[in-house]
Structure 1
Amino acid sequence: MCGITGWTAYDRDLTGGAERAALTAMTATMKCRGPDAEGQWAGPHAALGHRRLAVLDLPGGSQPMGVTEDGRTLAVLTYSGELYNYRDLRRELRSRGHRFRTASDTEAVLHAYLEWGRSFTTHLNGMYALAIWDARTEELLLLRDRVGIKPLYYCRAGAGSEVLFASEPKALLAHPAVEAEVCADGLRELLSLAKTPGHAIYTGLREVRPGHLVTISRTGITEERYWALRAREHTDDLDVTVSTVRAMLEQIMIRQTVADVPLCSLLSGGLDSSAITALAARTAHRPGRAGVRSFSVTFDQHERDFVPDLMHVDSDQPYVRALAGHVGTDHTDITLATAGLMNHANRRAALHARDLPSGLGDFDLSALLLFRAVREHSTVALSGEGADELFGGYFWFHDPQTVRAGTFPWRAAIEVYTRAGFGDAPMSTRLLDPALVRALDLPGHRRERYRRALAEVPHPEHAGPVEHRMREITYLHLTRFLPMLLDRKDRMSMANGLEVRVPFCDHELIEYVFNVPWSMKTAAGREKSLLRAAVADLLPEAVLNRPKNPYPTIQDPRYTDALRTALADLAHDSSAPINALLDRAAVSKALNGDASPRDMRYAAELVLDLNTWLDDYRVRLDLP
Structure 2
Amino acid sequence: MCGIAGWVDYERDLTKERATALAMTRTMARRGPDDEGLWTGPHAALGHRRLAVIDIEGGVQPMTEGPATLVYSGETYNFHELRRYLEAHGHRFRTRSDTEVVLRSYLEWGGDFAGRLNGMYAFALWDAGREELLLGRDRMGIKPLFYAPTGNGVLFGSEPKAILANPHFTARVGEEGLLEVLTNAKTPGHGVFTGMHEVIPGHTVTVSREGTSDRRYWALTAREHTDDVPATVRHVRELLDDIVERQLISDVPLCTLLSGGLDSSALTALADRALGRDHVRSFAVDFVDETGGFVPDDLRETADGPYVHDVAEHVACDHSDVVLGNDQLASPEAMRTVLRARDLPAMGDMDSSLYLLFAEIRKQSTVALSGESADEVFGGYRWFHDPGAVAADAFPWTSAALGQGLDLLDPDLRAKAGAYQRDRYHEALTEVPHLPDASPRERRMREICYLHLTRMVRLLLDRKDRMSMAVGLEVRVPFCDHRLVEYVFNTPWSHKTYDGREKSLLRGAVADVLPDSVVRRRKSPYPATQNPGYEQAVRDRLRAVAADSSAPVRDFLDPDAVRAALDRPLGKASIQRDRVPIERALAFADWLDEYRPALA
Instruction: Tell me if 1:614 matches 2:589.
Output: no
Instruction: Tell me if 1:64 matches 2:52.
Output: no
Q: Which moved more, 1:142-151 or 1:572-581?
A: 572-581
Measure, in 1, the Cα distance between the counterparts of 2:388 and 2:411.
29
51, 54, 62: which one pairs with 1:53?
Answer: 51
2:357 maps to what in 1?
Answer: 370
1:229-244 map, 5 Å: 229-244=220-235
Partner amino acid, structure 2, of 1:237:
D
2:496 maps to what in 1?
Answer: 521
Measure, in 1, the Cα distance between the counterparts of 2:94 and 2:197.
35
1:318-337 CA distance string (max 9 Å, x none)? 10000111111000000011
TM-score (norm: length of structure 2): 0.97
Measure, in 2, the Cα distance between the counterparts of 1:397 and 1:584.
36
1:353 maps to what in 2?
Answer: 341
SS in structure 2 of the partner of residue 468 of structure 1: helix
1:324 maps to what in 2?
Answer: 312
Q: CA contact under 8 A between 1:431 and 1:583: conserved in structure 2?
A: yes
2:243 maps to what in 1?
Answer: 252
SS in structure 1 of the partner of residue 106 of structure 2: helix
Instruction: Tell me if 1:125 matches 2:118.
Output: yes
Runs in 1 of length 4+ with deviation above 6 angstroms?
A: none
Q: CA contact under 8 A between 1:305 and 1:555: conserved in structure 2?
A: no
Instruction: Tell me if 1:184 matches 2:167.
Output: no
Shift of 1:304: 5.0
Shift of 1:303: 2.4
Measure, in 2, the Cα distance between the counterparts of 1:169 and 1:425.
22
Q: CA contact under 8 A between 1:188 and 1:445: conserved in structure 2?
A: yes
Measure, in 2, the Cα distance between the counterparts of 1:428 and 1:310.
14
Measure, in 2, the Cα distance between the counterparts of 1:348 and 1:332.
27
1:368-517 map, 5 Å: 368-411=355-398, 413-414=399-400, 427-438=404-415, 441-517=416-492
1:592 maps to what in 2?
Answer: 567
2:550 maps to what in 1?
Answer: 575
Give unmatched runs, 5+ long, in structure 2.
none
Shift of 1:621: 1.6
Shift of 1:254: 1.0
SS in structure 1 of the partner of residue 344 of structure 2: coil
2:301 maps to what in 1?
Answer: 313
**What is the root-mean-square deviation in Å for CA atoms of aligned residues?**
1.4
1:420 maps to what in 2?
Answer: none
1:424-461 CA distance string (max 9 Å, x none)? 876522222223334xx122111211111111111112
2:193 maps to what in 1?
Answer: 202
1:237-316 map, 5 Å: 237-285=228-276, 290-316=278-304
Q: CA contact under 8 A between 2:146 and 2:196: conserved in structure 1?
A: yes
* Identical columns (%): 58
SS in structure 2 of the partner of residue 209 of structure 1: coil
1:167-199 CA distance string (max 9 Å, x none)? 000111011111221110011111113221111
Q: CA contact under 8 A between 1:305 and 1:556: conserved in structure 2?
A: no
SS in structure 1 of the partner of residue 286 of structure 2: strand
Measure, in 1, the Cα distance between the counterparts of 2:411 and 2:590.
21
Q: CA contact under 8 A between 1:391 and 1:528: conserved in structure 2?
A: yes
Count of paired positions = 597
Partner amino acid, structure 2, of 1:298:
D
Q: CA contact under 8 A between 1:181 and 1:203: conserved in structure 2?
A: yes
Partner amino acid, structure 2, of 1:590:
A
Measure, in 2, the Cα distance between the counterparts of 1:560 and 1:54.
39
Q: CA contact under 8 A between 2:153 and 2:209: conserved in structure 1?
A: no
Shift of 1:309: 2.2
Q: CA contact under 8 A between 1:191 and 1:427: conserved in structure 2?
A: no
169, 193, 196: which one pairs with 2:160?
Answer: 169
Partner amino acid, structure 1, of 2:15:
T
Distance change (3 Å), C-alpha of 1:525 and 1:586 = closer
SS in structure 2 of the partner of residue 407 of structure 1: coil
Q: CA contact under 8 A between 2:148 and 2:197: conserved in structure 1?
A: yes
2:580 maps to what in 1?
Answer: 602
146, 149, 156: which one pairs with 2:149?
Answer: 156
1:139 maps to what in 2?
Answer: 132
Partner amino acid, structure 2, of 1:139:
E
Partner amino acid, structure 1, of 2:165:
A
Instruction: Tell me if 1:26 matches 2:24.
Output: yes
Partner amino acid, structure 1, of 2:185:
A
TM-score (norm: length of structure 1): 0.94
Shift of 1:577: 1.8
Measure, in 1, the Cα distance between the counterparts of 2:507 and 2:563.
49
1:14 maps to what in 2?
Answer: 14
Measure, in 2, the Cα distance between the counterparts of 1:310 and 1:60.
50
Measure, in 1, the Cα distance between the counterparts of 2:550 and 2:449.
45
Shift of 1:575: 2.1
Measure, in 2, the Cα distance between the counterparts of 1:405 and 1:584.
31
Shift of 1:523: 0.7
